[in-house]
Homo-oligomer: A and B are copies of this chain.
Amino acid sequence: MQDKEFLMIPGPTPVPQSVLLALAKHPIGHRSKEFSTILRRVEEGLKWVFQTKYDVHIYTSSGTGAMCSAMGNLVNEGDRVLCLIIGNFGRRWAKIAKSRGADVIELEVPYGKAIDPCDLEKVLKENDNIKIVTMTHNETSTGVTNPVKELVKLVKNYGALSVVDGITSLGAINCPMDEWGIDVLVSGSQKGFMIPPGLAFLAANDRAFEMHKQCKYPDFYFNWTDYKKNLDKDTTPWTPAVNLVVALDEALSIMKQTGLNEIFELHKSNAKLLREGLKDMGLKLFVEDENIASYAITSVLPPEGVLVPDIRRVMKEKYDITVANGQNDLKDKIFRMGTLGFVSRRDVLTALASLKETIEGLKK
């Protein structure tokens, strides 16, 4: 039905009406006092979501841009980077590090699993000179959440820097940057932040900034020093996506009204409702272990004799709900349902009822 699509993919996610209307406001000059006031408020809101005292840089880019910013401000040719890989987005860290000439070590586990801290410790023990360890908090390609708190602690014990992809966890799953000692944390706009794609965020602590100072060819577009210098004057080095920043201001105000813990609880209860409903339907979950199952995205195996592309097609055509396919090796093997951002209990019930009818129809 025209204009009826409901997004249950891991981004873009549903956007509240007031945020869409804020987006449609005529842009104002980005070097004006008015915009600086908005930027300052947005900055404070982002710090609140990141649970950090450090600056949060606002980039005009996708989440991958913020990942490139992390590697592009830290890595010199030949630096040893350990990448913890539990899915496509963990693998992306390795690709980006290699694109900077890094000496990449990969610790990869079968997709659907999380990194075991013991395995990480073994690799840290066996390999000298690991400068950076990258990891994904919430791996959307599989629907697994890594035990970031434990992993980061180990990384610190071994003197390396922790760089964490919180793109689909920030504003959905608890990820207190400073408390957990995360050195660099990145995120993106079209996920828990409930605004359309186009902005990405990065916070780096003092340890990370120290390492940045040793970077021979820091990335120009995402340069941390330039961002910091400009942020101190409530501005950005390049023209920002003004309308998206104004929309983010509105979205952060909604998030503050809800409360951070309440947002996490809502994601948890929606994901649990979805998982229980799927199991009641007789469907098999790709991630069975409740301890590592994501509260943002749930991967589901199709029932025997029913194909993933058919499920996705009927869900979209008949019920106006878009769910995601698996990626790469998991394509057509799983489908993924997002409960990320502006999703209510009603939406989850609706999706379950629609999926039930879809599968019954396809089985006939």
Binding site for B on A (CB under 8 A): 3, 5, 7, 9, 11-12, 14-15, 20-21, 23-32, 60-65, 68, 71, 77, 95-96, 99-101, 188, 190, 196-198, 216-221, 223, 237-244, 322, 324
Q: Are B20 and A24 in contact (CB under 8 A)?
A: yes
Contacts A/B (CB < 8 Å), 15 sampled:
A3-B26, A7-B28, A12-B27, A15-B27, A20-B26, A21-B24, A23-B243, A27-B197, A60-B65, A62-B221, A63-B238, A64-B238, A95-B220, A190-B239, A196-B241
Q: How far is the CB of A69 from chain B (nearest CB, A)?
A: 9
In the bound complex, how far is the Cα of B21 from the Cα of A62, in angstroms?
A: 23
Q: How many copies of the polypeptide does the oligomer hold?
A: 2
Q: Are A198 and B238 in contact (CB under 8 A)?
A: no
Which residues of B sit under 8 angstroms from A29, Cβ to Cβ?
Answer: 5, 7, 9, 12, 322
Which residues of B sit under 8 angstroms from A216, Cβ to Cβ?
Answer: 101
In the bound complex, how far is the Cα of B77 from the Cα of A220, in angstroms?
A: 15
Which residues of B sit under 8 angstroms from A62, Cβ to Cβ?
Answer: 60, 221, 238-241
Residue of B nearest to A33 (CB): B316
In the bound complex, how far is the Cα of B3 from the Cα of A100, in angstroms?
A: 45
Q: Are A65 and B26 in contact (CB under 8 A)?
A: no
Q: Are B196 and A243 in contact (CB under 8 A)?
A: yes
In the bound complex, how far is the Cα of B27 from the Cα of A7, in angstroms?
A: 9
Which residues of B sit under 8 angstroms from A324, Cβ to Cβ?
Answer: 31
In the bound complex, how far is the Cα of B242 from the Cα of A99, in angstroms?
A: 26
